[in-house]
């Protein structure tokens, strides 16, 4: 395969440059126990295997909100176990992915705003919205990873962030929005089987999202709180839907299409995950 002069020295140690534009994805990452689901883990593994291996991953997780926009550690630091009340084994997961310092520089340049300069947090490790899916997708931890915060939950502002980051795709960077297509923990019934029939509010929102993505109805998705059925039940707080707006912005090319790679429900929550080509 042909390579470009944009080498691993730019994106991080161990990076393998690809000369083909990378897709953009939005995935439902799940709580740590979702990694025990053999169907979901196989779907993520197969998904990664069907894509060209990225030179690096730029991760936007629902679990990091910080203004101004901040980039995570660019060296390998301990993971950020941002959850509580789970079995001890979930706190023993390791994912020592290489950092991507030069990618952090590029992100800062692409998002340059004198009034709100990009910040750096050299001690923040990957949170579970980042490492839980990456463990399944790139289990060797050999792809450099950089995580960025969401400076706001405003859909239009996050869409604009995605548009500015889109050029990274041509450098082999896989941009990942990591959230959950429906997310209302208070309405979940943990006493039912994990694959039981979903509640109406979740299935209706999921169906609307599927149709809206297929139609490339970006305006409706951005205005989902008014356009979608059961929006306030599907997302009483919108942080798990918000990474989708970054993914949409990074895939704004009118010739691009989306397709669902993962669907179905987990304890009533939609696992819908999509790829924008």
For position 238, what pLDDT does the model report? 98
Tens-digit pLDDT profile for residues 136-150? 999 999 999 999 999
Question: Is the residue at 252 inside a domain?
Answer: yes
For position 12, what pLDDT does the model report? 45
Question: Is the residue at 266 inside a domain?
Answer: yes
How far apart CA 99 and CA 15 sit, in angstroms, is 10
Q: What is the CATH classification number for the domain harbouring 81?
A: 3.40.830.10
Residue 111 has pLDDT above 80, yes or no: yes
Under the banding of pLDDT at 50, 70 and 90, the label for residue 115 is confident
Tens-digit pLDDT profile for residues 151-184? 999 999 999 999 999 999 999 999 999 999 999 9
Residue with tokens 């730029």: 58
Question: Is the residue at 186 inside a domain?
Answer: yes
Residue 20 has pLDDT above 80, yes or no: no
Question: Is the residue at 3 inside a domain?
Answer: no
Residue 15 has pLDDT above 60, yes or no: no
For position 191, what pLDDT does the model report? 81
Residues composing the chain: 277
Tens-digit pLDDT profile for residues 30-89? 778 878 889 999 999 999 999 999 999 999 999 999 999 999 999 999 999 999 888 999
For position 103, what pLDDT does the model report? 98
- Name the residue range of residue 230's domain: 8-276
Tokens encoding 134: 């990456």
Residues 230-244: what's their mean pLDDT? 98
Under the banding of pLDDT at 50, 70 and 90, the label for residue 186 is confident
Question: Is the residue at 1 inside a domain?
Answer: no
Residue with tokens 């947090």: 121
- pTM for this model (two decimals): 0.92
DSSP three-state, residue 41? helix
Residues 121-139: what's their mean pLDDT? 97
Residues 242-264: what's their mean pLDDT? 91
For position 3, what pLDDT does the model report? 33
For position 193, what pLDDT does the model report? 87
Under the banding of pLDDT at 50, 70 and 90, the label for residue 190 is confident
Give the number of domains in the chain.
1
For position 202, what pLDDT does the model report? 97
How far apart CA 146 and CA 148 sit, in angstroms, is 7
Q: What is the mean pLDDT of the chain?
A: 91
Residue 7 has pLDDT above 70, yes or no: no
Question: Is the residue at 2 inside a domain?
Answer: no
For position 19, what pLDDT does the model report? 59
How far apart CA 40 and CA 194 sit, in angstroms, is 12
Tens-digit pLDDT profile for residues 199-221? 999 999 999 999 999 999 999 99
Q: Helix, strand, coil proportions of the chain in percent (round to 5)?
A: 40, 15, 45
How far apart CA 7 and CA 13 sit, in angstroms, is 9
For position 252, what pLDDT does the model report? 83
């Amino acid at each position: 395969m042909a390579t470009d002069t944009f080498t691993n020295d730019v994106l991080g140690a161990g990076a393998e440059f690809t000369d083909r534009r990378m897709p953009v994805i939005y995935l439902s990452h799940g709580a740590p126990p979702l990694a025990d689901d053999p169907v979901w883990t196989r779907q993520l593994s197969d998904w990664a295997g069907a894509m060209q291996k990225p030179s690096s991953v730029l991760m936007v997780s629902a679990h990091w909100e910080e203004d101004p926009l901040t980039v995570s550690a660019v060296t390998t630091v301990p993971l950020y176990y941002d959850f509580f009340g789970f079995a001890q084994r979930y706190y023993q997961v390791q994912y020592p992915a290489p950092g991507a310092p030069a990618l952090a520089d590029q992100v800062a340049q692409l998002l340059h705003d004198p009034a709100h300069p990009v910040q750096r947090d050299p001690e923040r490790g990957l949170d579970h919205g980042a490492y839980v899916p990456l463990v399944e997708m790139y289990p060797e931890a050999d792809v450099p990873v950089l995580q960025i915060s969401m400076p706001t939950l405003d859909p239009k502002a996050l869409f604009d962030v995605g548009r500015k980051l889109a050029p990274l795709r041509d450098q082999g960077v896989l941009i990942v929005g990591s959230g959950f297509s429906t997310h209302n923990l208070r309405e979940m019934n943990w006493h039912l089987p994990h694959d039981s029939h979903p509640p109406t509010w979740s299935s209706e929102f999921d169906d609307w999202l599927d149709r809206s993505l297929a139609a490339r109805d970006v305006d409706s998705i951005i205005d989902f709180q008014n356009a979608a059925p059961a929006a306030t039940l599907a997302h009483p707080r919108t942080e798990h839907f918000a990474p989708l707006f970054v993914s949409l912005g990074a895939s704004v090319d009118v010739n691009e299409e989306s397709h669902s790679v993962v669907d179905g429900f987990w304890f009533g929550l939609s696992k819908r995950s999509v790829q924008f080509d």
